[in-house]
């Protein structure tokens, strides 16, 4: 395979990645992969890839001797068509799958793998009683400096005061993670308040038919660090609502004991199916200037 053909293929690959990122930005599907705060880096990447693709395109029109820089280093390209095809396919296949296949959002299948974030306190305590050699360890070995822990009230002070003074809580996408964290930290403080939440249906294996979790995946940086944020809901038989189906739930906040934790629980008064929103994920929205 001649060097001109190598340069031509590389130009196409770089242009392909440019078009892929451009397509994700224009369609809004980029938010299925990253947090909005990462968007400037993708604009920068888009520009850089376009420039590199253009440079590769102009280089293929140079004479053979002009392509090499005379730096006494080997710059030859592989002459094997099979080897080149395998290597370039590693870049071409992701471009085609990203451009022509529909995007998939995380749901209950991934939630099953990650699990509901509250493991049993009993299990946690017993595992901390022994080290890897089977020797007992004191509680001091696992002591946490409480002064170094930033609580949700410190992360979201304004939102905390707003929620306390409100009779009705609505989990809006821009404050979803903060609201969930605050309610989970002090479930008794919000007991009796009316709440409205939208999310997908998720079930723990131990749940009865009248209990589900209404949740959404929260993203801090990119989809690799996504975790489920949700509230348990209890009411009538929910077996007709399939896992991953999106619902809007209204009810009253109560407190339930789950695996050793006191957690918020919605006593459902109404539930209905809704369409999955364009932006299925929610994102962290923390003003670090307020953090002490």
Q: How confident is the model at residue 147 (pLDDT cuts 50, 70, 90)?
A: low
Beta-strand pair 246-258/261-273: antiparallel
Q: Who wins on pLDDT, 156 or 177?
A: 177
Assign 94 to helix, strand or coil.
Answer: helix
The full length of the chain comes to 292
User: Is residue 291 scored above 70 in pLDDT?
Assistant: no
3-class DSSP state for residue 204?
coil
Give exposure, 156-166, as e/b (b: 16+ Cβ within 10 Å).
beebbeebeee
pLDDT one-digit tens code per residue, 176-187: 888 898 998 888
Q: Which of 218-222, 230-234, 256-260, 285-289 has the largest mean confidence?
A: 230-234
Give 64-85 pLDDT, tens digit per residue. 554 555 555 555 666 677 888 8
pLDDT tens-digit profile of 225-275?
Answer: 788 888 888 888 888 888 888 999 999 999 888 777 788 889 999 989 999
Both tokens of 23, joined, read: 């397509």
How far from the centroid of its chain's Cα atoms is residue 265's Cα? 24
Query: Can you give the pTM of this predicted structure?
Result: 0.70
133 or 218, greater pLDDT: 218
Q: Scanning the structure block, which residue is given the tokens 């392509």?
A: 67
Closest CA to 196 of 247, 160, 256: 247
* CA-wise closest residue to 218 among 286, 150, 153: 286
Give CA–CA dist 255/234, Å, rounded. Answer: 11
| Separation between Cα atoms, residue 27 and residue 32, nearest integer Å | 11
């Amino acid at each position: 395979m001649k060097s001109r053909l190598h340069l031509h293929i590389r130009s196409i690959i770089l242009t392909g990645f440019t078009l892929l990122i451009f397509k994700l930005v224009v369609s809004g599907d980029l938010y299925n992969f990253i947090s909005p705060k990462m968007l400037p880096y993708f604009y920068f990447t888009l520009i850089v890839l376009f420039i590199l693709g253009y440079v590769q395109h102009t280089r293929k029109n140079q004479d053979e001797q002009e392509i090499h820089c005379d730096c006494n280093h080997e710059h030859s390209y592989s002459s094997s068509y099979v080897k080149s095809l395998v290597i370039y396919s590693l870049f071409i296949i992701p471009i085609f799958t990203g451009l022509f296949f529909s995007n998939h959002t995380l749901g209950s299948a991934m939630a099953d793998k990650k699990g509901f974030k509250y493991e049993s306190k009993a299990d946690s305590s017993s595992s901390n009683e022994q080290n890897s050699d089977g020797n007992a360890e004191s509680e001091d070995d696992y002591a946490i400096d409480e002064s170094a822990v930033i609580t949700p009230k410190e992360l979201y002070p304004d939102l905390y005061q707003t929620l306390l003074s409100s009779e009705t809580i609505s989990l809006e996408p821009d404050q979803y993670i903060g609201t969930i964290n605050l309610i989970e930290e002090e479930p008794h403080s919000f007991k009796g308040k009316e709440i409205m939440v939208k999310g997908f249906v998720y079930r723990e294996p131990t749940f009865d038919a009248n209990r589900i979790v209404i949740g959404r995946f929260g993203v801090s940086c990119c989809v690799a660090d996504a975790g489920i944020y949700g509230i348990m809901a209890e009411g009538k038989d929910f077996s007709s609502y399939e896992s991953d189906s999106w619902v809007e739930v209204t009810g009253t906040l109560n407190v339930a004991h789950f695996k050793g934790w006191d957690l918020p629980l919605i006593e459902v008064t109404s539930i209905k199916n809704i369409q999955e929103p364009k932006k299925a994920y929610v994102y962290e929205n923390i003003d670090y200037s307020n953090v002490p």
